Structure 1
């Protein structure tokens, strides 16, 4: 089997909710749908959904990357996934969202070739995933209103964006807890918006609202600061922007800088490096979560398959597709009832795509 062509098209799904985080407010959601064709008639699909503050690239960068890497991949065996990652990594530094799209398509081809769903190929721990639902920064009243809506839709875990205003964050969490009651899990994501002192003060205040966790409260380069915070709060501390690669995960483990690592396939460069990150974390007793950027159903299908496959991946933040209008030419991969995502038993990603 060899790769015969790479094709792509831009996707611009319409956002259904306003979504603001400490890094910036999203104005537009764009991603690229990738198709890799083979000489055996099997095609695989992937998605690149870059977010410049994290992945360092944009849609135009990824298009240029696909154009340049295409001749390097045509004629290669798509099942040689590690080899293709070496080719991509030697070819260019970064462009992890583009590499992720290629990676997804390769795993999709592998699943179709073997007749196995991707979650089973990757480990088969489960065929279901419980996802949280994320609430962007808004007025405390609007955030509480949205929290109540999501709980009524069946979500039991809420991820709340914070990090712009200490006092408003406290008020928002107070109102959210009042709105949803005591049984709903609340976790925070500051997207590097706090400093060490603010983080510790916030999390001590948050104890009264039974907040379970805070994600990436301080700048991504400050591993020492994360260790300092971890030693002084009672809740779990998660790294996100600090960990892009297996090397970053190793540093996080060595410096005891977190309790949990958020693996995002767009910043890791796909499933293959994500498996390595999880293995490093698992060996050190650190749990993992699979998160997302602004992926459509395509990227979420890949993330959900990995999350379901591995026992050490105990959390999932796979909600981006619910914040955008579904694309009429993409379906399948999974179903969702409340906060439970159930993977398809069809081979590969199990997607139906009218390319």
Structure 2
């Protein structure tokens, strides 16, 4: 089997509600759908969702990369995913969102070729994943109101965005806990919004309200700050923006800078390097989460497959598609009730794509 063509299409994802975090305030998002065709008639689909803040890529960077890869990878065996990553990495440093789009399409092809859903190809630990639901930064009372809505919809885990104003953050957490009661798990994500000593003070206030895990409290480069926080608070500390690659994961573990690693396919460059990150973490006794950017159902289906397949991935934050309008021409067979996602048993990623490329 050989790759005959790699094409791509940029689409806009429209949010249902505005979503504000410490590092940005996006109202709409562009994403790139990737199509990989083969001489065997098997076609795979992936997604590239760049973020200048997180991955350092924008739409133009990724489309240029994908156009070049159409020439570079033509004739390669799509089942040799490791070799294709070697080629992409040799030619380009970074460009992880672009690499992810191709990687996801290759796993979709591999699943279709073998007749297996991707989660089974990767290990098949389970066909279900429990995801949290995220609450963006807003007035504390509005955040508490949204928390109640999500709990009423069946979510048992809430992820609350913080990091713009410490006083408001503490008040929001207090009101949310008051609103949802003691049995709902609360996690927070500061998106690099605090300084290390400020973070310790604020996180200790959060602890009074049962916050169990804190994601990326300080800037991505501040490994020393992350370790300082980890050593001075009770909660589990998660790295997100600090860990893009297996090499970053190794450094985070060596410097004892976190308790959990957040794997995102757009950061890592796809499933293949994500598995490497998880293996490194697992060998060191750290658990992982699979998170997302603002992907469509394509990226979410792939993230869910990864999360379901690996026992060491014990957290999932795969909620972005629920905050956006459905994208015409993109359907997937996974289902969700409350926080429980049940994966498709169809070969590949379980996608039904009807788009003009």
1:22 paired residue number: 22
Alignment match, 1:217: 217
Counterpart mapping for 1:17-56 below 5 A? 17-56=17-56
Hey, what does 2:186 align to over in structure 1? 186
Q: How does 1:59-138 map to 2 (within 5 A)?
A: 59-138=59-138
Within 2, Cα distance between the matches of 1:38 and 1:313? 32
Runs of 4+ in 1 over 3 A off after TM superposition: none
3-state DSSP of counterpart to 1:52? coil
* SS at 1:224 equivalent: helix
* Equivalences for residues 132-151 of structure 1 within 5 A: 132-151=132-151
Task: Show the counterpart of 1:318.
Answer: 318
The answer for the alignment partner of 1:156 in structure 2 is 156
1:283-302 CA-to-partner distances (Å, cap 9, x unmatched) read: 00000000000001000000
Q: Distance in 1 between matches of 2:315 and 2:239?
A: 13
Contact 2:333 2:350 (C-alpha < 8 Å) held by counterparts:
yes
Query: Partner residue of 2:167?
Result: 167
Q: Which moved more, 1:86-95 or 1:282-291?
A: 86-95
Q: Is the 8 A contact 2:14 2:27 kept in 1?
A: no
* Shift in Å, 1:97: 0.6
Cα distance in 2 for partners of 1:230, 1:63 equals 39
Counterpart in the other structure of 2:305: 305
Find the aligned partners of 1:294 and 1:319 in 2 and give their Cα distance: 9
Aligned partners of 1:297 and 1:333 also within 8 Å:
no
CA distance in 2, matches of 1:333, 1:242: 33
Tell me how far apart the structure 1 counterparts of residues 327 and 200 of structure 2 sit (CA, whole Å): 42
Q: Deviations over 1:190-239 (max 9, x none)?
A: 01100111111111111210000110000111111111111111110000
User: In the alignment, is residue 257 of structure 1 matched against residue 257 of structure 2?
Assistant: yes
In the alignment, is the contact (CA less than 8 A) between 2:7 and 2:70 conserved in 1? Answer: no
Mapping of residues 327-346 of structure 1, within 5 Å: 327-346=327-346
**2:238 maps to what in 1?**
238
Tell me how far 1:51 sits from its aligned partner: 1.2
Displacement of 1:330 in angstroms is 1.1
Conserved 8 A contact 1:344-1:350? yes
Q: Residues 252-282 of structure 1, C-alpha deviation per residue, up to 9 Å, x if partnerless?
A: 1111111100001101000000000000000
| 1:294 partnered with 2:294 | yes
TM-score between the two structures when normalised by the length of structure 2:
0.98
Measured after TM superposition, the shift of residue 333 of structure 1 is: 3.5
Give the C-alpha shift of residue 328 in structure 1.
2.5
Identify unmatched segments of 5+ residues in structure 1: none
Secondary structure of 1:285's counterpart equals coil
**Once the two structures are superposed, what CA deviation does each residue of 1:138-173 show, in whole Å capped at 9, x if it has no partner?**
100111111111111111100000001010000111
C-alpha separation in 2, matches of 1:188 and 1:268: 22
The separation in 1 between residues aligned to 2:64 and 2:204, in whole angstroms, is 47
Partner of 1:11 in structure 2?
11
* CA distance, structure 1, for counterparts of residue 21 and residue 14 of structure 2: 18
SS in 1 for 2:104: helix
SS in 1 for 2:98: helix
Across the aligned residues of Structure 1 and Structure 2, the Cα RMSD in angstroms comes to 0.7
Helix, strand or coil at the partner of 2:345: coil
Runs of 5+ unmatched residues, structure 2 = none
Tell me the secondary structure at the aligned position of residue 201 of structure 2: helix
